[in-house]
Structure 1
Amino acid sequence: MISIGICDDEAPTRRALRTPLERKLQLLGISYRILEYDSGEALFSHPEREYLDIFFVDFEIKPIYGMETAKNLRKRNSHTLLIFVTAYPDFVFQGYEVHAFHYILKPYEEHKIQAVLEQALEELGRDREPYFTLERKSGILKIPLKKVLAFSSDRRKVVIFLNDGRRPDFYGKLDEVESGLPDYFVRCHNRHLVNLNFVSALEKDRCICGALQFPVSRAFRQPLEIAFARLLLR
Protein backbone atom coordinates (compact mmCIF):
# COMPACT_ATOMS: atom_id res chain seq x y z
CA MET A 1 0.00 0.00 0.00
CA ILE A 2 1.22 3.49 -0.93
CA SER A 3 0.72 6.16 1.74
CA ILE A 4 0.35 9.71 0.42
CA GLY A 5 -0.01 12.93 2.40
CA ILE A 6 -1.42 16.24 1.13
CA CYS A 7 -0.80 19.37 3.21
CA ASP A 8 -2.67 22.52 2.16
CA ASP A 9 -4.77 24.95 4.19
CA GLU A 10 -7.58 25.09 1.61
CA ALA A 11 -9.92 22.11 1.27
CA PRO A 12 -10.81 22.76 -2.42
CA THR A 13 -7.11 22.84 -3.29
CA ARG A 14 -6.48 19.56 -1.49
CA ARG A 15 -9.41 18.03 -3.36
CA ALA A 16 -8.11 19.35 -6.70
CA LEU A 17 -4.85 17.51 -6.05
CA ARG A 18 -6.36 14.38 -4.54
CA THR A 19 -8.83 13.62 -7.36
CA PRO A 20 -6.27 13.11 -10.19
CA LEU A 21 -4.03 11.16 -7.82
CA GLU A 22 -6.86 8.76 -7.04
CA ARG A 23 -7.77 8.39 -10.69
CA LYS A 24 -4.23 7.43 -11.61
CA LEU A 25 -3.72 5.06 -8.70
CA GLN A 26 -7.00 3.29 -9.42
CA LEU A 27 -6.10 3.00 -13.10
CA LEU A 28 -2.76 1.43 -12.15
CA GLY A 29 -4.44 -0.93 -9.70
CA ILE A 30 -2.28 0.28 -6.81
CA SER A 31 -3.54 0.03 -3.24
CA TYR A 32 -3.26 3.43 -1.60
CA ARG A 33 -4.16 5.62 1.34
CA ILE A 34 -4.34 9.41 1.06
CA LEU A 35 -4.21 11.52 4.23
CA GLU A 36 -5.07 15.22 4.23
CA TYR A 37 -3.70 17.89 6.56
CA ASP A 38 -4.73 21.54 6.71
CA SER A 39 -1.49 22.68 8.38
CA GLY A 40 1.98 21.55 9.41
CA GLU A 41 0.74 21.36 12.99
CA ALA A 42 -2.00 18.93 11.96
CA LEU A 43 0.58 16.77 10.22
CA PHE A 44 2.82 16.47 13.26
CA SER A 45 -0.07 15.64 15.58
CA HIS A 46 -0.69 12.37 13.73
CA PRO A 47 1.59 9.28 13.96
CA GLU A 48 0.84 8.38 10.33
CA ARG A 49 3.42 10.97 9.24
CA GLU A 50 6.14 8.40 10.01
CA TYR A 51 4.87 6.16 7.22
CA LEU A 52 4.25 8.56 4.34
CA ASP A 53 5.79 7.41 1.08
CA ILE A 54 4.91 10.59 -0.83
CA PHE A 55 4.12 14.00 0.65
CA PHE A 56 2.65 16.95 -1.27
CA VAL A 57 3.06 20.22 0.62
CA ASP A 58 2.06 23.78 -0.28
CA PHE A 59 4.83 26.34 0.17
CA GLU A 60 2.42 28.99 1.45
CA ILE A 61 0.56 27.11 4.20
CA LYS A 62 0.37 28.77 7.63
CA PRO A 63 1.11 29.06 10.52
CA ILE A 64 4.06 26.73 9.84
CA TYR A 65 5.19 27.46 6.30
CA GLY A 66 5.67 24.69 3.80
CA MET A 67 9.45 24.74 3.92
CA GLU A 68 9.51 24.48 7.72
CA THR A 69 6.97 21.67 7.56
CA ALA A 70 9.15 19.84 5.03
CA LYS A 71 12.29 20.35 7.15
CA ASN A 72 10.58 18.98 10.25
CA LEU A 73 9.24 16.00 8.34
CA ARG A 74 12.64 15.30 6.80
CA LYS A 75 14.24 15.20 10.27
CA ARG A 76 11.79 12.49 11.31
CA ASN A 77 11.51 10.61 8.04
CA SER A 78 14.35 10.39 5.53
CA HIS A 79 12.63 8.17 2.95
CA THR A 80 9.50 10.23 2.17
CA LEU A 81 9.45 11.73 -1.32
CA LEU A 82 8.70 15.45 -0.90
CA ILE A 83 6.79 17.21 -3.67
CA PHE A 84 6.17 20.95 -3.33
CA VAL A 85 3.14 22.67 -4.79
CA THR A 86 3.25 26.43 -5.32
CA ALA A 87 1.94 29.28 -7.44
CA TYR A 88 5.38 30.90 -7.45
CA PRO A 89 8.14 29.24 -9.53
CA ASP A 90 10.83 31.13 -7.58
CA PHE A 91 10.12 28.95 -4.54
CA VAL A 92 11.02 25.77 -6.42
CA PHE A 93 14.77 26.17 -5.89
CA GLN A 94 14.36 26.22 -2.11
CA GLY A 95 13.28 22.60 -2.33
CA TYR A 96 16.88 21.49 -2.68
CA GLU A 97 17.40 22.24 1.02
CA VAL A 98 15.20 19.30 1.93
CA HIS A 99 16.04 17.08 -1.06
CA ALA A 100 12.62 17.62 -2.64
CA PHE A 101 11.79 15.04 -5.28
CA HIS A 102 9.70 17.30 -7.53
CA TYR A 103 7.31 20.26 -7.67
CA ILE A 104 3.92 21.11 -9.15
CA LEU A 105 2.81 24.61 -10.11
CA LYS A 106 -0.65 26.03 -9.47
CA PRO A 107 -3.19 26.11 -11.00
CA TYR A 108 -3.08 22.35 -11.22
CA GLU A 109 -2.99 20.46 -14.50
CA GLU A 110 -4.17 16.88 -14.16
CA HIS A 111 -1.63 15.44 -16.60
CA LYS A 112 1.23 17.14 -14.71
CA ILE A 113 0.07 15.79 -11.35
CA GLN A 114 -0.23 12.28 -12.74
CA ALA A 115 3.16 12.47 -14.49
CA VAL A 116 4.87 13.49 -11.23
CA LEU A 117 3.03 10.71 -9.39
CA GLU A 118 4.26 8.14 -11.91
CA GLN A 119 7.85 9.32 -11.46
CA ALA A 120 7.47 9.08 -7.69
CA LEU A 121 6.09 5.54 -7.94
CA GLU A 122 9.02 4.51 -10.13
CA GLU A 123 11.44 5.98 -7.57
CA LEU A 124 9.73 4.10 -4.75
CA GLY A 125 9.92 0.89 -6.74
CA ARG A 126 13.67 1.27 -7.12
CA ASP A 127 14.57 2.35 -3.63
CA ARG A 128 11.87 1.32 -1.22
CA GLU A 129 12.62 -1.48 1.17
CA PRO A 130 9.93 -4.20 1.02
CA TYR A 131 7.51 -4.00 3.93
CA PHE A 132 4.56 -5.92 5.28
CA THR A 133 1.87 -3.38 6.13
CA LEU A 134 -0.72 -3.65 8.90
CA GLU A 135 -3.56 -1.19 9.38
CA ARG A 136 -4.46 -0.59 13.01
CA LYS A 137 -6.60 1.89 14.91
CA SER A 138 -3.45 3.72 16.00
CA GLY A 139 -2.24 4.01 12.39
CA ILE A 140 -0.29 2.03 9.83
CA LEU A 141 2.43 -0.36 11.01
CA LYS A 142 5.09 -1.10 8.39
CA ILE A 143 7.32 -4.10 9.15
CA PRO A 144 10.48 -4.55 7.02
CA LEU A 145 10.41 -8.04 5.51
CA LYS A 146 14.13 -8.42 6.23
CA LYS A 147 13.17 -8.62 9.93
CA VAL A 148 10.48 -11.28 9.51
CA LEU A 149 11.47 -14.87 10.29
CA ALA A 150 8.08 -16.40 9.63
CA PHE A 151 4.31 -16.03 9.47
CA SER A 152 2.20 -18.59 11.31
CA SER A 153 -1.54 -19.21 11.31
CA ASP A 154 -3.12 -19.46 14.75
CA ARG A 155 -6.84 -20.06 14.35
CA ARG A 156 -8.28 -16.82 12.94
CA LYS A 157 -5.06 -14.87 13.48
CA VAL A 158 -1.68 -14.69 11.76
CA VAL A 159 1.38 -14.28 13.99
CA ILE A 160 4.50 -12.52 12.66
CA PHE A 161 7.79 -13.77 14.14
CA LEU A 162 10.39 -10.99 14.09
CA ASN A 163 14.14 -11.33 14.54
CA ASP A 164 14.04 -9.10 17.62
CA GLY A 165 11.68 -11.47 19.43
CA ARG A 166 8.48 -9.50 18.92
CA ARG A 167 5.37 -11.34 17.70
CA PRO A 168 2.68 -8.96 16.44
CA ASP A 169 -0.51 -10.59 15.21
CA PHE A 170 -3.57 -9.69 13.19
CA TYR A 171 -6.78 -11.23 11.92
CA GLY A 172 -6.24 -12.79 8.51
CA LYS A 173 -5.48 -15.87 6.44
CA LEU A 174 -2.05 -17.25 5.64
CA ASP A 175 -3.00 -17.82 1.99
CA GLU A 176 -3.73 -14.11 1.56
CA VAL A 177 -0.45 -13.15 3.24
CA GLU A 178 1.56 -15.53 1.05
CA SER A 179 0.15 -14.14 -2.20
CA GLY A 180 1.74 -10.73 -1.59
CA LEU A 181 5.20 -11.83 -0.43
CA PRO A 182 8.53 -12.26 -2.29
CA ASP A 183 9.49 -15.78 -3.38
CA TYR A 184 11.93 -16.25 -0.49
CA PHE A 185 8.93 -16.80 1.79
CA VAL A 186 8.01 -20.47 1.42
CA ARG A 187 5.55 -22.82 3.13
CA CYS A 188 7.02 -25.51 5.30
CA HIS A 189 3.67 -26.51 6.73
CA ASN A 190 0.03 -25.66 6.16
CA ARG A 191 0.23 -23.29 9.14
CA HIS A 192 3.76 -21.91 8.70
CA LEU A 193 5.46 -19.69 6.11
CA VAL A 194 9.22 -19.18 6.63
CA ASN A 195 11.75 -16.64 5.36
CA LEU A 196 14.46 -18.71 3.64
CA ASN A 197 17.03 -16.00 4.38
CA PHE A 198 16.82 -17.03 8.05
CA VAL A 199 16.72 -20.79 7.51
CA SER A 200 19.98 -22.38 8.68
CA ALA A 201 19.03 -26.04 8.38
CA LEU A 202 16.37 -28.37 7.02
CA GLU A 203 15.87 -31.67 8.81
CA LYS A 204 13.51 -34.53 8.10
CA ASP A 205 10.54 -33.08 9.94
CA ARG A 206 11.58 -29.59 10.99
CA CYS A 207 12.99 -26.33 9.73
CA ILE A 208 15.49 -24.29 11.78
CA CYS A 209 14.74 -20.60 11.28
CA GLY A 210 16.82 -18.28 13.45
CA ALA A 211 16.26 -19.38 17.03
CA LEU A 212 12.94 -20.97 16.12
CA GLN A 213 11.90 -24.36 14.82
CA PHE A 214 8.90 -25.03 12.60
CA PRO A 215 7.46 -28.40 11.56
CA VAL A 216 7.90 -29.52 7.96
CA SER A 217 4.98 -31.49 6.56
CA ARG A 218 5.31 -34.13 3.85
CA ALA A 219 3.28 -32.11 1.35
CA PHE A 220 5.63 -29.11 1.51
CA ARG A 221 9.00 -30.83 2.09
CA GLN A 222 10.13 -31.18 -1.54
CA PRO A 223 9.16 -27.64 -2.70
CA LEU A 224 10.84 -26.27 0.43
CA GLU A 225 14.06 -28.21 -0.22
CA ILE A 226 14.17 -27.03 -3.85
CA ALA A 227 13.58 -23.39 -2.90
CA PHE A 228 16.24 -23.59 -0.18
CA ALA A 229 18.78 -25.13 -2.58
CA ARG A 230 18.12 -22.43 -5.16
CA LEU A 231 18.72 -19.73 -2.57
CA LEU A 232 22.06 -21.27 -1.58
CA LEU A 233 23.18 -21.31 -5.24
CA ARG A 234 22.52 -17.61 -5.86
Structure 2
Amino acid sequence: MEENGIWGIYEMRIAICDDEKKLRNSLRRVLETQLQLDGVDYEIQEYECGEDLLARIEQNVPDILFLDIEMNGMDGMETARELRRKYQDTVLIFVTAYPDFVFQGYEVHAFHYILKPYKEEKIREVLGKAVEETGLNQEKYYLVEQKAGTLRLPFGRVLYFKSEGRTVEALLDNGDMEGSAAYEIVKFYGKLGEIEEEMPSFFIRIHNRYLVNLKYVDKLEGSSLDCGGQSLPVSRAYKQAAAVAFAKLMLK
Protein backbone atom coordinates (compact mmCIF):
# COMPACT_ATOMS: atom_id res chain seq x y z
CA MET A 1 0.00 0.00 0.00
CA GLU A 2 1.25 3.50 -0.81
CA GLU A 3 2.17 5.78 2.05
CA ASN A 4 2.41 9.52 2.55
CA GLY A 5 5.60 11.49 2.03
CA ILE A 6 6.30 14.04 4.77
CA TRP A 7 8.89 16.50 6.00
CA GLY A 8 9.42 17.31 9.65
CA ILE A 9 11.76 17.16 12.62
CA TYR A 10 14.08 14.23 12.21
CA GLU A 11 14.21 11.81 15.13
CA MET A 12 17.57 10.09 15.48
CA ARG A 13 17.29 6.32 15.69
CA ILE A 14 19.59 4.53 18.08
CA ALA A 15 19.74 0.78 18.71
CA ILE A 16 21.40 -1.24 21.47
CA CYS A 17 22.04 -4.93 20.85
CA ASP A 18 23.35 -6.82 23.89
CA ASP A 19 22.27 -10.10 25.46
CA GLU A 20 22.69 -8.69 28.98
CA LYS A 21 19.64 -6.66 29.99
CA LYS A 22 21.46 -4.95 32.86
CA LEU A 23 24.12 -3.62 30.50
CA ARG A 24 21.51 -2.52 27.96
CA ASN A 25 19.75 -0.55 30.68
CA SER A 26 22.99 0.99 31.88
CA LEU A 27 23.99 2.11 28.40
CA ARG A 28 20.52 3.38 27.60
CA ARG A 29 20.41 5.52 30.73
CA VAL A 30 23.64 7.31 29.82
CA LEU A 31 22.57 7.79 26.20
CA GLU A 32 19.18 9.22 27.12
CA THR A 33 20.66 11.65 29.62
CA GLN A 34 23.23 12.96 27.17
CA LEU A 35 20.85 13.19 24.21
CA GLN A 36 18.36 15.16 26.29
CA LEU A 37 21.11 17.52 27.45
CA ASP A 38 22.17 18.03 23.83
CA GLY A 39 18.59 18.65 22.69
CA VAL A 40 18.60 15.77 20.21
CA ASP A 41 15.25 14.24 19.24
CA TYR A 42 15.71 10.50 19.45
CA GLU A 43 14.23 7.05 19.89
CA ILE A 44 16.09 4.04 21.28
CA GLN A 45 15.35 0.41 20.42
CA GLU A 46 16.76 -2.54 22.35
CA TYR A 47 17.58 -6.01 21.01
CA GLU A 48 18.72 -8.98 23.06
CA CYS A 49 20.53 -10.83 20.28
CA GLY A 50 21.77 -10.47 16.72
CA GLU A 51 18.96 -12.59 15.34
CA ASP A 52 16.37 -10.29 16.95
CA LEU A 53 18.06 -7.19 15.53
CA LEU A 54 18.25 -8.53 11.98
CA ALA A 55 14.67 -9.81 12.08
CA ARG A 56 13.26 -6.41 13.01
CA ILE A 57 15.72 -3.90 11.59
CA GLU A 58 13.76 -3.15 8.40
CA GLN A 59 11.00 -1.65 10.54
CA ASN A 60 13.40 0.78 12.17
CA VAL A 61 16.86 1.06 10.59
CA PRO A 62 19.13 2.71 13.17
CA ASP A 63 21.34 5.71 12.52
CA ILE A 64 23.61 4.55 15.35
CA LEU A 65 24.01 0.97 16.58
CA PHE A 66 25.75 -0.07 19.79
CA LEU A 67 26.54 -3.73 19.17
CA ASP A 68 27.96 -6.20 21.69
CA ILE A 69 30.53 -8.52 20.14
CA GLU A 70 30.27 -11.48 22.53
CA MET A 71 26.65 -12.68 22.50
CA ASN A 72 24.95 -16.04 22.66
CA GLY A 73 23.91 -17.37 19.26
CA MET A 74 24.94 -15.02 16.46
CA ASP A 75 27.85 -12.95 17.75
CA GLY A 76 28.41 -9.28 17.07
CA MET A 77 30.81 -9.71 14.17
CA GLU A 78 28.49 -12.05 12.31
CA THR A 79 25.59 -9.72 13.01
CA ALA A 80 27.60 -6.76 11.70
CA ARG A 81 28.49 -8.60 8.48
CA GLU A 82 24.82 -9.32 7.81
CA LEU A 83 23.91 -5.73 8.66
CA ARG A 84 26.41 -4.33 6.18
CA ARG A 85 25.00 -6.44 3.34
CA LYS A 86 22.03 -4.06 3.22
CA TYR A 87 22.72 -1.08 5.45
CA GLN A 88 25.88 0.89 4.75
CA ASP A 89 24.98 4.13 6.50
CA THR A 90 24.40 2.93 10.06
CA VAL A 91 27.13 4.21 12.37
CA LEU A 92 28.38 1.05 14.07
CA ILE A 93 29.89 1.16 17.56
CA PHE A 94 31.18 -2.09 19.00
CA VAL A 95 30.83 -2.87 22.69
CA THR A 96 33.24 -5.46 24.09
CA ALA A 97 35.05 -6.59 27.21
CA TYR A 98 38.05 -7.71 25.17
CA PRO A 99 40.27 -5.09 23.48
CA ASP A 100 41.62 -7.68 21.02
CA PHE A 101 38.25 -7.78 19.25
CA VAL A 102 38.52 -4.11 18.36
CA PHE A 103 40.82 -4.76 15.41
CA GLN A 104 38.17 -6.90 13.72
CA GLY A 105 35.96 -3.85 13.36
CA TYR A 106 37.69 -2.62 10.21
CA GLU A 107 36.09 -5.44 8.23
CA VAL A 108 32.59 -4.09 8.86
CA HIS A 109 33.51 -0.38 8.92
CA ALA A 110 33.01 0.06 12.65
CA PHE A 111 33.03 3.73 13.62
CA HIS A 112 34.26 3.29 17.19
CA TYR A 113 34.26 0.94 20.16
CA ILE A 114 33.49 1.06 23.89
CA LEU A 115 35.09 -1.27 26.40
CA LYS A 116 33.18 -2.93 29.22
CA PRO A 117 32.68 -2.11 32.01
CA TYR A 118 31.22 1.13 30.70
CA LYS A 119 32.71 4.48 31.60
CA GLU A 120 30.14 7.22 31.25
CA GLU A 121 32.61 9.79 29.96
CA LYS A 122 33.68 7.41 27.18
CA ILE A 123 30.07 6.74 26.20
CA ARG A 124 29.36 10.47 26.02
CA GLU A 125 32.48 11.07 23.95
CA VAL A 126 31.72 8.34 21.42
CA LEU A 127 28.03 9.27 21.26
CA GLY A 128 28.92 12.88 20.48
CA LYS A 129 31.17 11.84 17.61
CA ALA A 130 28.54 9.43 16.28
CA VAL A 131 25.78 12.05 16.39
CA GLU A 132 28.05 14.47 14.55
CA GLU A 133 28.75 11.80 11.93
CA THR A 134 25.06 11.10 11.30
CA GLY A 135 24.25 14.79 11.38
CA LEU A 136 26.17 15.20 8.14
CA ASN A 137 23.44 13.20 6.41
CA GLN A 138 20.27 14.07 8.30
CA GLU A 139 19.00 16.54 5.73
CA LYS A 140 19.66 14.20 2.80
CA TYR A 141 16.57 12.06 3.12
CA TYR A 142 12.98 12.26 1.99
CA LEU A 143 10.81 10.71 4.69
CA VAL A 144 7.88 8.43 3.86
CA GLU A 145 5.58 7.48 6.73
CA GLN A 146 4.63 3.80 6.78
CA LYS A 147 2.62 1.71 9.21
CA ALA A 148 5.78 -0.15 10.21
CA GLY A 149 7.77 3.06 10.68
CA THR A 150 9.37 5.86 8.71
CA LEU A 151 11.11 4.96 5.45
CA ARG A 152 14.01 7.19 4.43
CA LEU A 153 14.75 7.74 0.75
CA PRO A 154 18.35 8.99 0.41
CA PHE A 155 18.51 11.76 -2.18
CA GLY A 156 21.73 10.33 -3.57
CA ARG A 157 20.07 6.99 -4.41
CA VAL A 158 16.88 8.33 -6.01
CA LEU A 159 17.07 8.27 -9.82
CA TYR A 160 13.74 9.99 -10.29
CA PHE A 161 10.28 10.63 -8.91
CA LYS A 162 7.36 9.84 -11.22
CA SER A 163 3.83 11.13 -10.71
CA GLU A 164 0.99 8.68 -11.29
CA GLY A 165 -2.16 10.58 -10.38
CA ARG A 166 -2.26 10.85 -6.59
CA THR A 167 0.64 8.42 -6.30
CA VAL A 168 4.36 9.09 -6.64
CA GLU A 169 6.88 6.42 -7.58
CA ALA A 170 10.50 6.79 -6.51
CA LEU A 171 13.11 4.67 -8.30
CA LEU A 172 16.08 3.93 -6.02
CA ASP A 173 19.53 2.66 -6.92
CA ASN A 174 20.45 -0.48 -4.95
CA GLY A 175 23.69 -1.07 -6.82
CA ASP A 176 25.87 -0.97 -3.69
CA MET A 177 23.77 -3.45 -1.75
CA GLU A 178 24.97 -7.02 -2.08
CA GLY A 179 22.23 -9.52 -2.84
CA SER A 180 19.66 -6.85 -3.79
CA ALA A 181 18.03 -6.02 -7.13
CA ALA A 182 19.71 -3.18 -9.02
CA TYR A 183 16.71 -0.88 -8.55
CA GLU A 184 13.84 -0.59 -6.12
CA ILE A 185 10.48 1.16 -6.59
CA VAL A 186 8.84 2.87 -3.62
CA LYS A 187 5.27 4.13 -3.98
CA PHE A 188 3.57 6.68 -1.77
CA TYR A 189 0.86 9.34 -1.85
CA GLY A 190 2.16 12.81 -2.65
CA LYS A 191 2.43 15.72 -5.08
CA LEU A 192 5.43 16.08 -7.35
CA GLY A 193 5.39 19.86 -7.03
CA GLU A 194 5.70 19.70 -3.25
CA ILE A 195 8.52 17.16 -3.48
CA GLU A 196 10.34 19.36 -6.00
CA GLU A 197 10.36 22.28 -3.55
CA GLU A 198 12.30 20.22 -1.02
CA MET A 199 14.82 18.59 -3.36
CA PRO A 200 18.51 19.56 -3.71
CA SER A 201 19.55 21.52 -6.79
CA PHE A 202 20.68 18.40 -8.67
CA PHE A 203 17.02 17.35 -9.04
CA ILE A 204 15.28 18.98 -12.01
CA ARG A 205 11.79 18.86 -13.45
CA ILE A 206 11.76 17.52 -17.01
CA HIS A 207 8.04 16.84 -17.39
CA ASN A 208 4.79 17.26 -15.48
CA ARG A 209 5.23 13.66 -14.37
CA TYR A 210 9.00 13.45 -13.82
CA LEU A 211 11.51 14.90 -11.36
CA VAL A 212 15.00 13.59 -12.17
CA ASN A 213 18.33 13.31 -10.35
CA LEU A 214 20.85 14.81 -12.78
CA LYS A 215 23.63 12.67 -11.35
CA TYR A 216 22.01 9.63 -12.96
CA VAL A 217 21.43 11.25 -16.36
CA ASP A 218 23.72 9.79 -19.03
CA LYS A 219 22.47 11.71 -22.05
CA LEU A 220 20.05 14.52 -22.85
CA GLU A 221 19.04 14.72 -26.47
CA GLY A 222 16.02 16.28 -28.08
CA SER A 223 12.83 15.46 -26.22
CA SER A 224 14.22 12.62 -24.10
CA LEU A 225 17.00 11.78 -21.68
CA ASP A 226 18.62 8.57 -20.51
CA CYS A 227 18.44 7.98 -16.77
CA GLY A 228 19.57 4.70 -15.26
CA GLY A 229 19.18 2.94 -18.58
CA GLN A 230 15.66 4.26 -19.13
CA SER A 231 14.51 6.80 -21.69
CA LEU A 232 12.36 9.50 -20.07
CA PRO A 233 10.37 12.23 -21.85
CA VAL A 234 11.43 15.88 -21.67
CA SER A 235 8.53 18.23 -22.33
CA ARG A 236 8.89 21.50 -24.24
CA ALA A 237 8.15 23.55 -21.12
CA TYR A 238 11.17 22.14 -19.26
CA LYS A 239 13.52 21.42 -22.18
CA GLN A 240 15.69 24.56 -22.04
CA ALA A 241 16.08 24.59 -18.24
CA ALA A 242 16.94 20.88 -18.26
CA ALA A 243 19.59 21.37 -20.96
CA VAL A 244 21.23 24.24 -19.05
CA ALA A 245 21.25 22.30 -15.76
CA PHE A 246 22.72 19.21 -17.42
CA ALA A 247 25.43 21.28 -19.15
CA LYS A 248 26.42 22.92 -15.85
CA LEU A 249 26.73 19.52 -14.22
CA MET A 250 28.97 18.26 -17.02
CA LEU A 251 31.29 21.25 -16.57
CA LYS A 252 31.85 20.61 -12.86
TM-score (norm 2): 0.65
Question: Is residue 2:48 matched to residue 1:12?
Answer: no
Instruction: State the AA in 2 paired with 1:208.
Output: L
Distance 1:165 1:81, change over 3 A: closer
Gaps of at least 5 residues in structure 1 are none
- Counterpart of 1:153 in structure 2 is 163
TM-superposed CA distance for 1:233, in Å, is 0.9
User: How does 1:47-126 map onto structure 2 within 5 Å?
Assistant: 47-48=57-58, 51-58=61-68, 63-64=72-73, 69-78=75-84, 79=88, 80-85=90-95, 91-99=98-106, 100-104=110-114, 106-107=117-118, 109=120, 112-123=122-133
What secondary structure does 2:72 align onto?
A: coil
Higher RCO (CA 8 Å, separation ≥ 6 residues): 2
CA distance in structure 2 between the aligned counterparts of 1:39 and 1:166, rounded to whole angstroms: 29
Instruction: State the AA in 1 paired with 2:202.
Output: Y
User: How does 1:70-219 map onto structure 2 within 5 Å?
Assistant: 70-78=76-84, 79=88, 80-85=90-95, 91-99=98-106, 100-104=110-114, 106-107=117-118, 109=120, 112-123=122-133, 134=144, 136-137=146-147, 148-162=158-172, 164=182, 166-199=184-217, 200-203=219-222, 206-210=223-227, 211-218=230-237
Instruction: State the AA in 1 paired with 2:225.
Output: I
Q: Percent identity?
A: 35
CA distance in structure 2 between the aligned counterparts of 1:231 and 1:58, rounded to whole angstroms: 44
Report which stretch shifted further, 74-83 or 41-50.
41-50
TM-superposed CA distance for 1:50, in Å, is 9.7
User: How does 1:222-233 map onto structure 2 within 5 Å?
Assistant: 222-233=240-251
TM-superposed CA distance for 1:231, in Å, is 0.7
CA distance in structure 2 between the aligned counterparts of 1:147 and 1:37, rounded to whole angstroms: 29
CA distance in structure 1 between the aligned counterparts of 2:246 and 2:14, rounded to whole angstroms: 37
Distance 1:176 1:116, change over 3 A: farther
Gaps of at least 5 residues in structure 2 are 1-9, 174-181
What secondary structure does 1:63 align onto?
A: coil
CA distance in structure 1 between the aligned counterparts of 2:191 and 2:75, rounded to whole angstroms: 40
